[in-house]
Chain A
Amino acid sequence: MTVLGVSDLGIMRGSRAVVRDASFAVSRGESVMVMGASGSGKTSVLRAIAGLEPLAAGRVVVDGVVIEPGGVPTGSLRRELYRRVGMVFQFHHLFDHLTALHNVSLAPMHVLHRSRKEAEQTAMALLERLGVAARANALPRELSGGEAQRVAIARALAMGPQLLLMDEPTASLDPARRGDLAAILRQLTDEGCALLIASHDEEFVRGCAHRVLTMAEGRISEGSPR
């Protein structure tokens, strides 16, 4: 079952086209990696799917929610989108003023209207599952790169997304942590979550991608870069 469908996607930055005619799909339980050099447009594709960047052409469909050219999604479209898509940023962007636990429980409380108790229980369970429960009361600046990333994953998963977007997830990890991350991602796909990951780390990609897309100069193609 297709969770994400991208067709003829175009993204402009000023008068420059950073992504052109990109078409691909990601299915439930599938892990798809987007590879490519820096500046090839990987992050822009992820940001457009996450509703952070307006589309110049084409369309994006996430489990029936359609994003079309125009401004970034607003109102009910935006709410529907973020019930389906989660994003983990390259630099995590954890909320600086909140503890790990509150980073994870914030959106379920205020967007999904869960009670504080319920939201924090779920958050704690996620942190436990990702192996950072001991750091629940730490502030982001007190976390290591690996810990921060796992909290960021927990934060995205707390909204129960069907599609998880990750931008350069291995950038701040040493080799051992990279193995841990791969294990977490495999677990997620086994549970049916669809993953779209931008990375230029070939070893990591080989270890956990079901399928690889390659980006070069704003164009996307199936298969590993050769």
Chain B
Amino acid sequence: MWKVRFILLVTVACLGQPVRAQTTNELRWGGDAEGGSPFVEADPRDPSRVVGFEVEVAGLLAEGLGRTARFLQVGFTSLDAAAARGDFEVGLSGIEDSPARRSRLAVTIPYYQFREVLTVRDVDAAKFRTLDDLRGRRIATLGATLAYDLLVDAQAKLGIVPVVYEDDVHPYSDLILGRVDAVLLDYVLAERGVRRTPGLTNQSTEVAVGYYVGITAPGNTELRDRMNDILLGAMRDGRLEAIFRRWNMWNEDQPRLYARLTSGGQVEQTAAAPAPPVSGWEAAVRYLPALVRAAVVTLVLSCLSMALAVAVGVLIATGRVYGPRPVRVLLTAWVELIRGTPLLLQLFVLYFGLAVVVQLPAFVAALIGLGLNYAAYESEIYRGALEAVSIGQLDAARTLGLGERQTLVFVRGPQAFRLALPPMTNDFVALLKDSSLVSVITVVELTKETSIFAANIGSWLLPGAMCAAMYLALSLPLARFARRLERTWKR
């Protein structure tokens, strides 16, 4: 998913360049419309427009600056990096205040206070009230959020297993299915989740308090200060209250927050949020164990998926070369179906779509999804390789009395395998990288861990370099091994 978002970000950034020079009376603000209501979402009546409380806050800021607001779509996890690059002037998308964020971006004063709450199944409402009650259990959340930091903290202390999702719909549907025992997210998302999914309860005990803020490029403090003044004005004259009332988000926390801010007070930082690392190296050292663990997940998942892909691929290829016509037609259709649809979609269907029938653990779903997807490609390689073995070799086997199966096992198969090895190596390296897609079904592998790392430190430079080095460390020895095997066979 982050890949898609990254491409989107780059596209937006490229498209944004000329616009920036021409239109100075626009306030370009970045947000993620995938975040949905009440934050930012495409207007159901006119999908070319966006609606949500963030849209109205942006309008309020633009009005105060004497400009018109212009929305730029940026993936949630890329908002910090895009703000730092100056792709937009202000980012508003339920962005949480954190020490790390303050250390690397110019952050506005908070304009909304939220509580992190636990959501549990109705039957567990009496049993699971606090994080302490959930020792050793699986708790869902979104990556790169305050809730995630809280869970990572609780992982060390209480043995809680954080399960990271990329959207805020599936944590709640998986909670109902029993894949997780609770969801920890901010109150706004939790309210929405409970409304959408019957059978769930939001616990009243607050786990932590957080704030939504606007973000701007680190050097843009002048604009940030002007926006702070506008926000303070809107807190005093009730315009912010009107916005949050319209979106049913107004509660008793906000007047207290506004009173504190308008009287010159500050908000205290949330205790659970980790302090920003002092240097890149410190960050690298802090995240290295997690990255290594994630790299092991990537490697194990890739090796098992490839083994499955090879086994199933051999069966499909054999069926397509030797099978009777109905089998050949069926297998061809299967291969075309798998090759013709995105892996991402297949993973969604396997994990979320089939959940009502069979609840596969995330790792198993990832293994099956990747394995079956690659099996379709492998089968085409093997079929081509089997058909490339010369008819003379088969005639020779036949005149020696070898049966069809013996010919396949002792002559055609081994020769085809030698032909298939280079494209297979290629596919394994591709699979190693495609395994990053499984993060959409909550498996935290190398790329996902890297994106969490990057979101937390607000830069892709060091995490990207470390991640690339690990992928290379995994794929280069493999390529070398395959080359040596090829050489041995060629002699």
Chain A interface (Cβ < 8 Å from any Cβ of B):
50-52, 78-79, 81-83, 85-87, 89, 91, 93-97, 106-107, 110-111, 139, 142, 155-156, 159
Contact = CB atoms under 8 A, between A and B. Distances in A.
A87 B402 CA distance: 14
A134 to B, nearest CB: 17
Given A106-B410, A110-B406, A93 B393 contact: yes
Contact of A111 (B390, B402, B415): B402
Nearest to B415: A97
Nearest to A72: B398
A11 to B, nearest CB: 16
A78 B401 CA distance: 7
A51 B392 contact: no
Contacts of A78: 401
B392 A91 contact: yes
14 contacts: A51-B398, A82-B400, A86-B399, A91-B392, A94-B396, A95-B393, A97-B414, A106-B400, A107-B400, A110-B410, A111-B400, A111-B402, A142-B491, A159-B400
B400 to A, nearest CB: 4
Contact of B491 (A91, A106, A139, A155): A139
A79 B406 CA distance: 13
Interface in B379-401: 390, 392-393, 395-401
Contacts of A52: 395, 398-399
Interface string B448-491: 00000000000000000000000000000000000000000101
A116 B303 CA distance: 34
A159 B395 CA distance: 16
A85 B399 contact: yes
Contact of A89 (B395, B401, B410, B411): B395
A205 B84 CA distance: 88
Nearest to B404: A74
A93 B415 contact: no
Contacts of B411: 95, 97, 106
B396 A95 contact: yes
Nearest to B391: A93
A93 B392 contact: yes
A155 B400 contact: yes
By Cβ-Cβ distance, the 7 closest A-B pairs, closest first, are A82-B401, A107-B400, A93-B396, A93-B392, A111-B401, A87-B399, A97-B414
B322 to A, nearest CB: 14
Interface residues of B, number: 19
Contacts of B396: 87, 89, 93-95, 155
Contacts of A106: 400, 402, 410-411
Contacts of B393: 93, 95-96
B413 to A, nearest CB: 10
Contacts of A50: 399
A111 B320 CA distance: 26
A132 to B, nearest CB: 17
Contacts of B390: 93
A107 B402 contact: yes
A97 B393 CA distance: 11
A82 B392 CA distance: 17
Contact of B418 (A83, A97, A107, A156): A97
Contact of B401 (A91, A94, A96, A159): A159
A47 to B, nearest CB: 8
A78 B397 CA distance: 12
Given A52-B395, A96-B393, A97-B414, A83 B401 contact: yes
A50 B399 CA distance: 7
**Residue among A82, A91, A94, A96 with the highest chain B CB neighbour number at 10 A:** A96
